[in-house]
Amino acid sequence: MKQLKILVIEDEKLIRWSLQKHLTSKGYTVFTAESGEEGIKIFEENHPEVVFVDNKLPNMQGLDVILRLKSIDDEAVIVFMTAYGSIETAVSAMKAGATEYINKPFAFEEIEVILENIKSKISIIKEIQLLRRQQKDIVTFDHIIGETSVFKQIIQLSKKISRTKTTTILLLGESGTGKDMFAHAIHNDSTRNEKPFVTINCSSLPETLLESELFGHEKGAFTDAKQLKKGLFEIADGGTVFLDEIGEINQATQIKLLGVLENRVVRRLGGSANIPVDIRIIAATNRDLKKAVDEKLFREDLYYRLKVFQITLPPLRERAKDIPILAEYFIKHYNHQFQKNINGVGDSVRSLLMNYNWPGNIRELRNVIERAVILESMNTLQAESLPGEIVLPGEHERTASAESKPNEEVDIPRSLPYNMQIPMQGISLYEIEKQLIKNALEQTGYNQTLTAKLLGISRDTLRYKAKKYKL
Ligand SMILES: Nc1ncnc2c1ncn2[C@@H]1O[C@H](COP(=O)(O)OP(=O)(O)OP(=O)(O)O)[C@@H](O)[C@H]1O
Ligand SMILES: [Mg+2]
């Protein structure tokens, strides 16, 4: 373990000086203070792991200093020093939160025994924290599935960057493409992995709450601030902060965040001390952040600070070869969970899955497979166990977009003639859709906007379908 930082709060010059000299010679980093007030200030600024507090101090009693330190950091380790050998005072100090006490005058050997005790306590706490983390389902790069070369390159690059110490990372990608997973895997693959990974969804809290979550607040900073509260940046010291949906933060918070990135210090709301923090920030969004910058909704300087290293996760439809691989992976997973024994997917289901658009990306695929595994009674997944929009993609999208964007200018029929006869040999909906789109394109002279309007679908959907049918 690295040597501890120690703060000595003691008004008697000789004791202060000799403790400092002795502890420094043992390799500890030592800060000293002559009064409680000064000690508290140093404590806030330097975060020492251990504080020696004298009982009799000029303005404040040692006991009050302990209470104050504990209110700043509940985990502060405090050694109480009392000259009078009074058991009652020592007991009150322990009640107030001191970890150990020592009677003055003391021998340096006693101090060393106490510090050894403290060190082993600290390392036990750290071990417990580590174990707790190991028990949780830890996401690593091993859990991230993908064989397409683009995706493999992204993983390689992410691994490389995870091991550099503080690089800020911006994760972009549609919903369900794996931004959360990457953020966790990067943290767990980094040298920070024994320190906290804290995550906050910037869109889930009102602005003022978000600020106090991130930066913390001093007691009394605002009406509801009854207690001092550390912010997430402080809590994550040494670790990683994952700012999800970064595109949603307001201008004031953007400025503060820029300050953290530039100076690596935070200031609590209502506070004046700059508290140094050693954190990696991973920000994520499914919004087009560049566009938000162009529209002056997002600060340009912050954008460039965040995108020191940018990872754009491709939508699932752009790595269709991974669809069957992921499907098999999720089938295995849900076989285990639901005690089923499904061998995989047949060719027809495979092509249905590969042809679908997957607007919800991997999350949607996982949910579809979960449902299908539950429903399936055969050895392989059948089309019947898939939701309608995958089996009949054209139908679903047409209906959905026609409903959500009613076309007011052109009065177009919303369905094929009801009396249309289905030929005995059956009909291919794919062929019909392809033909329909082809006709519409020809009719409009390949004007995409007009074609999309004619068909009651969005331009994106049209582009996607035209590509799919090679039109
Ligand atoms: N490459 C992958 N391999 C295996 N599972 C994946 C992969 N990517 C995503 N998943 C699965 O998809 C789910 C959704 O991914 P994740 O939550 O990381 O997406 P996201 O990009 O953060 O989405 P959102 O923008 O909605 O927050 C994950 O819980 C995980 O089960
Ligand atoms: Mg997410």
Position 420 scores a pLDDT of 58
Ligand closest to Cα of 176 equals: 1
Position 117 scores a pLDDT of 87
**b/e burial code for range 305-337 (CB count within 10 A of at least 16 → b):** bbbebebebbbbbebeebbbebbbbbbeebeee
Could you tell me the pTM of the whole model? Answer: 0.62
Per-residue pLDDT band at 261 (split at 50, 70, 90): very high
Cβ neighbours of residue 358 closer than 8 Å, sequence gap 6 or more: 315, 316, 317, 323, 364, 365
pLDDT tens-digit map of 398-432: 344 433 444 434 344 444 444 556 666 766 777 78
What is the rounded distance in angstroms from the CA atom of residue 100 to the CA atom of residue 94? 7
The answer on pLDDT for 359 being more than 90 is: yes
The answer on pLDDT for 177 being more than 80 is: yes
Q: What is the DSSP letter of 239?
A: S
Position 130 scores a pLDDT of 61
Q: How far is CA 38 from CA 32, 44, 292, in A?
A: 9, 10, 46
In three-state secondary structure terms, 278 is: coil
Position 3 scores a pLDDT of 79
- Ligand 1 atom with minimal separation from the 286 CA: 25
List residues, by chain if needed, whose CB lies under 5 Å from ion ligand 2. 179-180
- Ligand 1 atom with minimal separation from the 180 CA: 18
In the chain, where does the domain assigned CATH 1.10.8.60 lie? 316-391
Q: Identify the burial level of 266 via C-beta atoms within 10 angstroms of its C-beta, where 0-12 means exposed, 13-18 middle and 19 or more buried.
A: buried
Which tokens hold the place of 37?
């007030």
Closest C-alpha to ligand 1, atom 13: 363
**357-361 own/partner pairs: CB under 8 Å, 24+ apart:** 357/317, 357/393, 357/397, 357/461, 357/464, 358/315, 358/316, 358/317, 358/323, 359/174, 360/175, 360/176, 361/173, 361/174, 361/175, 361/176, 361/177, 361/178, 361/315, 361/316
List beta partners, residue 275.
266
Choose one of 142, 169, 170, 180 to mutate for the ligand 1 pocket test, by most ligand atoms within 8 angstroms of C-beta: 180
Q: How many A from CA of 177 to the centre of ligand 1?
A: 5
Contact criterion met (CB below 8 Å) for 314 and 330: no
What is the rounded distance in angstroms from the CA atom of residue 332 to the CA atom of residue 339? 10
Overall average pLDDT of the 20-33 stretch: 95
Percentage of the chain with pLDDT > 70? 89
Ligand closest to Cα of 322 equals: 1
Position 385 scores a pLDDT of 92
Overall average pLDDT of the 291-312 stretch: 94
In three-state secondary structure terms, 213 is: helix
Choose one of 363, 367, 368, 370 to mutate for the ligand 1 pocket test, by most ligand atoms within 8 angstroms of C-beta: 363
Position 131 scores a pLDDT of 65
Out of 228-232, 316-320, 416-420, 438-442, least confident range: 416-420
Q: How many A from CA of 184 to the centre of ligand 2?
A: 11
The answer on pLDDT for 301 being more than 90 is: yes
In three-state secondary structure terms, 80 is: strand
CB-ligand 1 contact for 179 (6 Å cutoff): yes
Overall average pLDDT of the 245-264 stretch: 93
What strands lie across the sheet with 309-312, from one edge to the other? 197-201, 240-244, 280-285, 169-172, 309-312
CB-ligand 1 contact for 332 (6 Å cutoff): no
Q: How many A from CA of 178 to the centre of ligand 1?
A: 3
Position 245 scores a pLDDT of 94
Closest C-alpha to ligand 1, atom 15: 178
Q: Does domain 316-391 have CATH number 3.40.390.10?
A: no
List beta partners, residue 216.
230
* Number of helices and strands in the chain (H, E): 20, 16
Per-residue pLDDT band at 352 (split at 50, 70, 90): very high
Q: How many A from CA of 181 to the centre of ligand 2?
A: 8
- Beta carbons within 10 angstroms of residue 252's beta carbon: 12
What is the rounded distance in angstroms from the CA atom of residue 207 to the CA atom of residue 248? 10
Residue range 5-132, CATH number:
3.40.50.2300
In this structure, which topology does domain 415-468 adopt according to CATH? Arc Repressor Mutant, subunit A (1.10.10)
In the chain, where does the domain assigned CATH 3.40.50.2300 lie? 5-132
Residue range 141-312, CATH number:
3.40.50.300
Choose one of 334, 362, 367 to mutate for the ligand 1 pocket test, by most ligand atoms within 8 angstroms of C-beta: 362
What is the rounded distance in angstroms from the CA atom of residue 118 to the CA atom of residue 281? 32
Q: How many A from CA of 175 to the centre of ligand 1?
A: 8
The answer on pLDDT for 218 being more than 60 is: yes
Pick the more confident residue, 408 or 45: 45
Position 398 scores a pLDDT of 39
CB-ligand 1 contact for 199 (6 Å cutoff): no
Q: How many A from CA of 144 to the centre of ligand 1?
A: 9
What is the rounded distance in angstroms from the CA atom of residue 64 to the CA atom of residue 364? 56
For the chain, the average pLDDT equals 87
